[in-house]
Amino acid sequence: MSKPHDTPQQPEAGGQDSETIDFGFRTVGRAEKSGLVRDVFDSVASRYDVMNDLMSGGVHRLWKAAMIDWIAPQPGQTLVDLAGGTGDISLRFLRAGGGDAVVTDINESMLAAGRQRREFGKYSDRIRWCVGNAEALPFTEASADIVTIAFGLRNVTDRDAAIAEAHRVLKPGGRFLCLEFSQVTSAMLARAYDAWSFNVLPRLGQLVAGDADSYRYLVESIRTFPPPEVLADMFAGAGFAQVRVRRMSAGIACIHSGWKLD
Ligand code: SAM
């Protein structure tokens, strides 16, 4: 019998081959993953923002604020936010003085939930919402000053393709930042974090969003995401320079930043 705080068996982080890919702890066909991911976010879209606060005790706000601080938005700058969901990153970018923002997401339901947010009213002439896959962006080359992806890359099937697309749409001198869950650096904290993630979060998901499985997937997908040094290599491999990593909250979340020089 398993103890209440046991962590389910997890595969190696970042395990992908040409035919298959991780979907949480399951291995699925590559063609299958985006449909499964779409189902997850269709299911949670209307409760997504409230669940983010409940799951993280509001700490996701601090991580997002840290990414915006690192960007230091300027008037006239254009942001393309990949996997932008309900628009949190774009809203913060605009509030901090950035120029224009495009929220791009594969899920119309997430964008629809974002469009309903009253906070965007003030910025309606500087925000666009666009259905699009991060792996094949509907934007021209060298058209954005900043590209971001927050808690999105681990859901993407071909992560190298998404990073390459970020590079393609950036202007020379532009910057790509990825905020993502990562690997906890303290063994003691890791035990408490696992207990919270595997035992509490799916129950919370069931209670608030009526869906435990989607939140189980979210927890599992964090464990199978590549570690920070591997992601940094993926940035460099796509042509990004001056790649830097900032670990936050003992490694629970990480920001990667890279510049497109020319
Ligand atoms: N960035 C938002 C935030 O930080 O609140 C939303 C993050 S949410 C955890 C992940 C988002 O990634 C979902 O809205 C989902 O629809 C989107 N997504 C998953 N795969 C995608 C892809 N291939 N291209 C674009 N968006 C994708």
* Model pLDDT for residues 68-106, shown as the tens digit of each residue: 999 999 999 999 999 999 999 999 999 999 999 999 999
**Could you tell me the pLDDT band of residue 17, with boundaries at 50, 70 and 90?**
low
More confident residue, 81 or 10: 81
Contact 110, 131 (CB under 8 A): no
In-domain check, residue 29: yes
Q: Does ligand 1 come within 6 angstroms of the Cβ of 155?
A: yes
221 within ligand 1 shell (Cβ under 6 A): no
Q: Which residue has the higher pLDDT, 143 or 51?
A: 143
Tell me the CATH number at 58. Answer: 3.40.50.150
Tell me which amino acid residue 203 is.
R
- Smallest CA-to-CA distance from 177 within 68, 261, 84, 49 is with 68
Whether ligand 1 lies within 6 angstroms of the CB of 41 is answered as yes
Least confident of 64-78, 106-120, 156-170, 205-219: 205-219
Pocket test for ligand 1, best of 86, 151, 201 (most atoms within 8 A of CB): 151
Rounded distance between C-alpha atoms, residue 82 and residue 95, angstroms = 18
- Alpha helix stretches (DSSP H) within 151-186: 159-169
* Structure confidence at residue 4 (pLDDT): 34
In a domain, 3, yes or no: no
Pocket lining: 107 vs ligand 1, CB cutoff 6 Å: yes
**Do the domain assignments include residue 77?**
yes
Cα angle, residue 132 at apex, residues 80 and 151 outer, rounded to 5°: 60
Residues 6+ apart with CB under 8 A from 192: none
How much of the chain exceeds pLDDT 90, in percent? 79
Nearest CA to ligand 1 atom 13: 85
* 4 domain residue, yes or no: no
DSSP state of 249: G
- Asked whether residue 8 carries a pLDDT value surpassing 70, the answer given is no
Count of domains observed in the chain: 1
Distance 97 CA to ligand 1 centre (A): 24
Locate 138 and state its tokens: 């509907």
Q: Which domain holds residue 29?
A: 9-259
Q: Is the residue at 236 inside a domain?
A: yes
Q: Return d(Cα 186, Cα 195) in angstroms, integer.
A: 14
For residue 57, is it within any domain? yes
The answer as to whether 225 is a domain residue is yes
Q: Average the pLDDT over each of 5-9, 130-134, 173-177 and give the range with the smallest value.
A: 5-9
> What are the tens digits of pLDDT across the range 20-41?
999 999 999 999 998 999 988 9
State if residue 22 touches ligand 1 by the CB under 6 angstroms criterion.
no
Let me know if residue 1 belongs to a domain.
no
pLDDT digits (tens, 9 = 90+) for 135-151: 999 999 999 999 999 99
Query: Is 145 close to ligand 1, i.e. is its CB under 6 Å away?
Result: no
Query: Which of 21, 37, 201, 221 has most ligand 1 atoms within 8 Å of CB, for mutation?
Result: 37
Q: Ligand 1 atom closest to Cα of 84?
A: 1
Region 223-248: what's the mean pLDDT? 97
d(CA 139, CA 133): 11
- Quote the pLDDT of residue 208: 87
